[in-house]
Amino acid sequence: MTKDECKKVVVDIIADIAPDEDLSNLKPEVRLRDQLQLDSMDFLDIVMELRKRHGIEVPEADYIQLASLDSCAEYLTPKFNALAAKR
């Protein structure tokens, strides 16, 4: 998985948990919370959907890594690739 593919996975999840938001102009380097109406429960949704849809676990200490799309991609892409290698 590339980092861009990883970002798309995250944006697809956000589209479901924040269905009123316009995601067409998300800036990857800017904190998601600064661009979207997302609260702490929504971030728990992102964590849950990564778990449910992709088998990816994000420990609480690492939640900060989900701040922006860029940081998501940095943190999650190796996890996706490690998981793919196991399968």
What is the binding site for another protein (CB under 8 A)?
A: 17-20, 37, 41, 44-45, 48, 51-52
Amino acid present at 70: D
Nearer to another protein, 2 or 52 (CB): 52
Shortest approach of another protein to residue 21 CB, angstroms?
Answer: 8
Shortest approach of another protein to residue 39 CB, angstroms?
Answer: 10
| Total Cβ atoms within 10 A of residue 52 | 10
Nearer to another protein, 21 or 70 (CB): 21
Between the CA of residue 50 and those of 8, 25, 80, what are the distances in Å? 12, 22, 10
